[in-house]
């Protein structure tokens, strides 16, 4: 069995800098990225324009990973912290 990486894992793999390589080979700020494509033919980050061009969300592409919203990231961080804290209390 294998696990599917999340958007955040791909973001970490590409370093701590603020620039990300998009599927068209161009570099952009991480703030401009809205998702990541895992397709081996053009693996990389997507901007809003690239996502529209490739029609990722409308056709329900299995290779596309959406960037989590700020709220989702905060919730994940809080739940991870709560889980770690509860395990440490044991």
pLDDT value at position 70? Answer: 67
**34 near 47, Cβ under 8 Å?**
yes
Using DSSP bridges, classify how beta strands 64-66 and 33-37 pair: parallel, antiparallel or unpaired.
Answer: antiparallel
Please report whether residue 56 resides in a domain.
Answer: yes
pLDDT of residue 46: 95
Q: Tens of pLDDT along the chain (90 residues)?
A: 445 688 888 888 887 678 899 999 999 998 999 999 999 888 999 999 999 999 988 888 889 999 987 666 556 555 554 554 455 555
User: 76: domain range?
Assistant: 7-88
- Residue 2 lies inside a defined structural domain of this protein: no
Q: Is residue 46 part of a domain?
A: yes
The pLDDT, as a whole number, for residue 18 is 83
80 membership: H or E segment, kind and range: helix 70-88
Provide the pLDDT for residue 8.
84
Return d(Cα 22, Cα 35) in angstroms, integer.
Answer: 10
How many domains does the chain fold into?
1
């Amino acid at each position: 069995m294998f696990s599917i990486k999340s958007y955040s894992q791909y973001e970490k793999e590409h370093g701590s800098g603020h620039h990300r390589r998009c599927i068209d080979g161009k570099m952009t700020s991480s703030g401009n990225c809205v998702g990541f494509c895992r397709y081996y033919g053009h693996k990389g980050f997507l901007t809003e324009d690239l996502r529209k061009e490739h029609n990722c969300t409308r056709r329900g592409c299995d290779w596309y990973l959406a960037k989590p919203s700020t709220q989702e990231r905060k919730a994940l961080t809080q739940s991870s912290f709560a889980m770690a804290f509860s395990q440490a209390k044991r």
